[in-house]
Amino acid sequence: MALEFEQHSFLKELGIERDNFGCFSGEWKGSGEEILSYNPATNKLIAKVRATSEEDYEWCVKRSLDCRKLWSSLPMPERGEIVRQIGEALREKKLLLGKLISLEMGKILAEGIGEVQEFIDICDFGVGLSRQLSGKCLPSERQDHVMFEMWHPLGIVGYITAFNFPCAVFGWNSAISLVCGNVQIWKPSETTPLVAIALTKIIAQILKRNGYPAEIASLVIGRGAIGEKLAKDVRVPLISFTGSTKTGRQVSKLVHERLGKTILELGGNNAVIVDKDCNLDMALRAVLFGAVGTAGQRCTSTRRLYLHRSIYSNFLEKLVGYYRQVAIGDPLDEKTLMGPLHTKMAVEMYQKGIEEAISQGGKVVYGGKVIRDNFVEPTIIEVTPQTKCVQAELFAPILYVMPFDTLQEAITFNNSVSQGLSSSLFSNHISHVFEWLGPCGSDCGIVNVNIGTSGAEIGGAFGGEKETGGGRESGSDAWKQYMRRVTATVNYGNALPLAQGIQFGTS
């Protein structure tokens, strides 16, 4: 079978070969099935990967267990220094990695580079955390006693990540978890294995250069069976999973059956509400990026648009004009604004979604066609808020547009779906802004004003409510999920008073 490999010289600069091993724990191996990496823009084979077998997985976990004590016992600032160096290495290879993400995932080059920048930014954030993570000294009710609240590493943390952000989501987890003192096992999407291999080689090089075992950061590339094995493994206290709500339910069940911990970043069915009193130009640009960026394959992509009835026709007309200007094509071409959908199956879902919307009374006002292969038109469909298709997350560039009359009505529409990730209100009405942000406003984990649903900063905790899973990654105090809390009490006196003043024993 002919490979595209030779057409892309930057692959060798990232350590990618025509044939690769997909299991790493200090050294590379792989005795499982052959996994093929395709370029979604051409549907041509890029390279091959020998996946992780069950035996490889056991070898990997054992090596991870062997080095967890070493890593967890290091002073946190020393671990932070390693993360700093990882960030610097990513800076040096940012363009190359951005090209690889575009090649293998299909997002445009600017977004591929942006993904690497996210990893760099969270490394910077993690370095700062390594100098300031602290517990508490709590007042004790007993004489000559003091209570401490301390945080310790969990041990091994497992990551199961999705195709649409093959670099950034791993980075959100890895940079923080490594600083917290955990070793890691990463199971990436089997459709973006080359990005995972390139990132793992960069991290391994940094660890080895500093005299630490590279198996601190292990990799297991494989299909669902390997992910299931990781989810079931009692030796892995925490599983961070990013993907669909359907698969997330299965992962949650497997992990919680063994009383493990999870961070779940699942489906998003995100809405933008455009009030009559707002900067319409800002809203238009935000909706365009939110709905069309990454070909609608972000968990934060804008899928529902609620327009105040008084501006509905004007806004929709201008939005269609913006859509007509979207350049669709090779994601490595800097002029391109929308690349291909990731797989042929995604194209089929796109077509099926449009057919279902039309069968339910929806009206396509722009797009709706497959251009060629994995390339499709970004699509706008007019529906009513009660239309059934609005309730489902469709991972494609399809935007449902609906009118509203009052803000309370729009908030009800926003909250009417089972997902709860990201949401945005465009308004210059101060009371509307704070109603939206208040306890009876948006029920999502990310609630924005005058910015779109997509493009979260790493400084804030990222995640959502309801069927989005409730987990939090990246910034703020999301680090607490990668550690275990210990409440410790020290008696430095000569008596043994009991809590609550209880008297027990002989006089």
Length of the chain (residues): 507
Q: Please say if 467 is a catalytic residue.
A: no
- The single-letter code of the amino acid at 61 is V
Q: Are 247 and 262 in contact (CB under 8 A)?
A: no
Residue 176: count other Cβ atoms within 10 Å of its Cβ. Answer: 29
CA 495 from chain centre, in angstroms, equals 52
Cα distance between residue 23 and residue 202, in whole Å = 15
Residue 258 DSSP label: T
> Quick one: 205 exposed, middle or buried, by C-beta within 10 A (0-12, 13-18, 19+)?
middle
Candidate list 265, 377, 467, 473, residue with the active-site label: 265
Cα distance between residue 4 and residue 10, in whole Å = 12
Residue 281 DSSP label: H
SS3 364: strand
Q: Tokens for 76?
A: 């946190």
Q: Tokens for 387?
A: 């239309």
Q: Tokens for 97?
A: 């990695």
Could you give phi then psi for residue 366, rounded to 5 degrees? -160, 145
Residue 342 DSSP label: S
Q: Tokens for 288?
A: 């365009």
Half-sphere exposure (Cβ direction) of 420: Cα atoms closer than 13 Å? 19
Q: Can you tell me which residue has the tokens 């409440």?
A: 487
Cα distance between residue 285 and residue 337, in whole Å = 13
Q: Tokens for 132?
A: 């300031």
Those residues whose C-beta lies under 8 Å from the C-beta of residue 341, and which sit 6 or more positions away, are 40, 106, 295, 297, 347, 350, 374, 375, 376, 396
Buried-exposed string 70-98: b where 16+ CB fall within 10 A, e elsewhere: ebbeeebeebbbbbbbbbebbeebbebbb
Q: Can you tell me which residue has the tokens 């940079």?
A: 175
- The single-letter code of the amino acid at 488 is A
Cα distance between residue 493 and residue 502, in whole Å = 18
Q: Which residue in 361, 442, 367 sits closest to 397, CA to CA?
A: 367
Which residues carry out catalysis?
265
